[in-house]
Homo-oligomer: A and B are copies of this chain.
């Protein structure tokens, strides 16, 4: 009876259901967490039937891959931006902080990104082809920043930085760190402080 408004009326053909499904997946992740991310739930959230996604993705894994890929792409842009705004004499810390903040602000998405990588046993370093990629950002920063004697040391330092950022991103949510966070004035100062202390737990070094 009532004439449908623009928002109510959805044409039979969606327009860009692939896009809409990925967006729906991200909305679900925010709201319900990774465990709620079934193919059916994503279709439901996007307002289509359970079979509709199969016109755009081979199976559930491929949909999750697409969500993860998009996550890594946004991550990459975030790091690039952090890099461009960082002072020349200290670039690594801002980039690492940007990495950890990205993960902490979207923990469910980050989980999906990492799970996808784990299934492939491979970080998405070669994804999406360009130079605009997260790993390249970190690598370039380490090479530029450090006084690394050998290429081997560069590789090891990159690995160490990446692991540190990942570890902090995964652990920052634990309750044990609440006192530390409030003492330092919030989560971001806490993250920054921990990053600055990476490597400072060794004897014979000072800040």
Query: Contact residues of A with B, CB < 8 Å?
Result: 89-90, 92, 114, 117-118, 121-123, 125, 142, 145-147, 152-153, 155-168, 170-171, 173-177, 180, 183, 193-206
**Interface contact A159-B205, CB-CB below 8 Å:** no
Smallest CB–CB gap between A94 and chain B, Å? 13
Distance of A68 Cα from B69 Cα, bound (Å): 31
Q: How far apart are the CA atoms of A176 and B7 in the complex, in Å?
A: 46
Query: Are A146 and B92 in touch, CB under 8 angstroms?
Result: no
Nearest 10 CB-CB pairings of A with B: A199-B199, A167-B167, A163-B167, A157-B201, A156-B197, A166-B167, A163-B168, A160-B197, A122-B175, A160-B198
Minimum distance in angstroms from A124 CB to a CB of chain B: 10
> Given A164-B167, A167-B168: A180 and B155 within 8 A (CB)?
yes
**A147 — nearest CB in chain B belongs to which residue?**
B203
Instruction: Report how far A125 CA is from B194 CA in the complex, Å.
Output: 19
* Residues of the B chain whose Cβ atoms lie less than 8 Å from the Cβ of A153: 197, 200
